[in-house]
Structure 1
Amino acid sequence: MIKKIGYVVFSVLIISILGCSAENEEEPTAEEAFIEYAAYWEAGNYEKMYELLSTQAKELFAKNEFLERNAKIYEDIRAKDLTVTMFVEEMVEEEVPVDPEEPETEKLITYDKKMDTFAGAVSFRSEVLMTLEIEETEAGEEKYWRLNWTPAMIFDSLEVGDKVRLSTLHPTRGEIFDRNHIGLAVNGEVINMGIVPDRLPENEQKTLQDASNLLQLSVEEIEKS
């Protein structure tokens, strides 16, 4: 009788340990998923980035479209030293009742993005919505936090359907005028003409006269210059 009781107690102990292990298994977090995405983002690994997109985002953006759009834009702007940092706001702790029957399924992540481009440094703060997705497997339910990607993650003001076009603008040099509005340093076109004496043809005087008529300068002024 004693042996039988001992066997029952031992069996109950194993079941209790297994039950505690299952309960103590850590749930995935939205923050961990975003940090993983940010690491791929900084490395320019667009394939891995796409794997972490939500089902809804993948329905809106085909894989090839996502890969090509990201690769082309970052290449065209010569992006480098891209860093993505999750923004954590310091808040006063408050006791918020948690309902275990209704776990969190969406979370808004704020992040800072910085990168150097051929046009200079670009930085902005933005937000992205993370969604908890559940996948049925042979082992049971698997939970994953996935990212709802939008084009605004490339540039803050970029929207679906927008196109990025690069152009180079040449600045106009400033002009200086005196108080009578007479130009002291102004923009304009200057024609520069030179004569190499050793290369003048035999009829040197005729060549100088032709140049005089063209430039509206006397032959003497040309010779002096």
Structure 2
Amino acid sequence: MRPIVPGESLEPRFCILEAMSLHVEVLWGSAVAPWIPELARLRMAVFREWPYLYEGNLEYEQHYLAKFLELPESTLVVVRDKERVVGASTALPLAQAEAEFQTPFTQAGLDPAEWYYFGESVLEPAYRGQGLGVAFFRHREARALALGYRLVTFCAVERPANHPLKPADYAPLDAFWQRRGFSKRPDLVCHFSWQDLGQPQPSAKPMVFWVKEL
């Protein structure tokens, strides 16, 4: 991992792509602050979909996003259509993620400090299928390399195949992730809790990790 050099500027560097009215920005630190309300709204909207079925809590969302202000090695990729946030993707060192995400690695004898963890990617339905999912991975991988990480990972929830809320036309993203060079690690599983739609309280769900060496 490349250390932060004393005196080095922690101001965010921007990478902006334009496709019609779309802008993709890679930022961190204080530059995250203005976007927290919009990002909280977007996360709550997209995560209501299968397979996350997230009931949503605005206070939690804002608290979750605020931590990126204090982590100079975190990453936030924001997609805007003019000034409206329509997509976002996050990443941070695994050693700075929640303990639940680190535990499978330590139990397997893997050092969390060697891994850069990709969090969520959320995108409004109208903007899907335009290559932005690939851009989310490409920008986070570039940021990981710039910080000195060669190992990256993310995890995805696993729902029962016969879950009553599973859409009949649902297509899992496994093939997309494999094309991005990730391999599924069924031996690396964590359990993370959130409140499902229509349920009275949170419950733990299994999250299986995918890994890649850059």
Q: Give TM-score, length-normalised by structure 1.
A: 0.24
Could you say which structure has the higher strand fraction? 2
Q: Highest Rg: 1 or 2? A: 1
Could you say which structure has the higher helix fraction? 1
